């Protein structure tokens, strides 16, 4: 066989194998981990991305919040003081991508939480890049205030928008999850999270 032709065949085989390996790594790297945050790190979630803490002071409210991460648990406490004519809120945001790019969570059914609520109203939202008015798909979290952690599973299909047209949640376009304490009037909140994951 012509040595030059043999060389071309060997190069082609290496390129083919390299391409397969690259696609395999991309596929594995692009898949979303089910565990989003077990709060084992003081600042970052399990995807290596810093948590964000937001509240209604961005919209003229006076809500106060404190968060503490210790021994694999995050505790959030504060007082909801709503802006005039609007609900008050305080949010822990768990980004799924460092650049807020959409991530595909369509292989999962919903969100699982290990949560303890000592006081106040709390909800979970799945934040899609398709939603531009901040009315993300959300669901209330209800547990007994017995100072124990409870496992809660919330299907994506149970999440609804509050004031906008009810559109289906596109789970291929999620860029974060938010755990939100909220209230229509001045009120205290106190909750703790042990884990947030997809199921």
* Mean pLDDT of the region 149-178: 97
Q: Give the predicted TM-score (pTM) of the model.
A: 0.83
Give me the mean pLDDT over the 104-132 stretch: 97
Task: Write the pLDDT tens digit of every residue in 70-91.
Answer: 999 999 999 999 999 999 999 9
Question: What is the per-residue pLDDT across 21-65, written as a single tens digit (0 to 9) for each?
Answer: 333 333 333 579 999 999 999 999 999 999 999 999 989 999 999
pLDDT > 90 in the chain, percent: 82
Residues 176-192: pLDDT tens digits? Answer: 999 999 999 999 999 99
pLDDT score of 31: 79
Is the pLDDT assigned to residue 167 strictly greater than 60?
Answer: yes
- pLDDT for res 20: 33
pLDDT tier at 1, thresholds 50, 70, 90: low
Between these two residues, 20 and 134, which has the higher pLDDT value? 134
Residue 6: per-residue pLDDT: 36
| Burial label, 96 (beta-carbon count in 10 A; 0-12, 13-18, 19+) | buried
The pLDDT, as a whole number, for residue 125 is: 98
Round the average pLDDT of the chain to a whole number and report it: 88
Three-state secondary structure of the chain: CCHHHHHHHHHHHHHHHHHHHHHHHHHHHHCCCCEEECCCCCCECCCCCECEEEEHHHHCCCCEEEEEEECCEEEEEEEECCCCCCCEEEEEEEECCCCCCCECCCCCCEEEEEEEEEECEEEEEEEECCCCCCCCEEEEECCCCCCCCEEEEEEHHHCECCCCCCCCCCCCCEEEEEEEEEECCCEEEEEEEEEEEEC
């Amino acid at each position: 066989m012509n040595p030059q032709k043999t060389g071309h065949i060997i190069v082609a085989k290496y390129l083919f194998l390299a391409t397969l390996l690259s696609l395999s790594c991309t596929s594995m790297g692009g898949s979303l981990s089910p565990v989003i945050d077990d709060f084992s790190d003081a600042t970052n979630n399990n995807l290596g991305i810093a948590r964000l803490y937001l509240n209604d002071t961005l919209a003229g409210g006076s809500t106060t919040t404190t968060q503490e991460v210790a021994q694999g648990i995050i505790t959030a406490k504060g007082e909801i003081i709503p802006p005039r004519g609007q609900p008050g809120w305080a949010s822990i945001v768990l980004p799924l991508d460092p650049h807020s790019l959409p991530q595909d969570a369509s292989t999962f059914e919903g969100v699982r939480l290990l949560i303890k609520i000592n006081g106040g109203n709390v909800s979970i939202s799945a934040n899609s890049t398709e939603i531009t008015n901040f009315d993300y798909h959300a669901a209330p979290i209800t547990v007994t205030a017995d100072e124990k952690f409870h496992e809660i599973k919330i299907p994506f299909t149970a999440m609804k928008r509050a004031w906008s047209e009810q559109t289906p949640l596109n789970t291929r376009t999620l860029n974060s999850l938010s755990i939100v304490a909220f209230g229509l009037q001045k009120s205290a909140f106190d909750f703790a999270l042990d884990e947030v994951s997809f199921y």
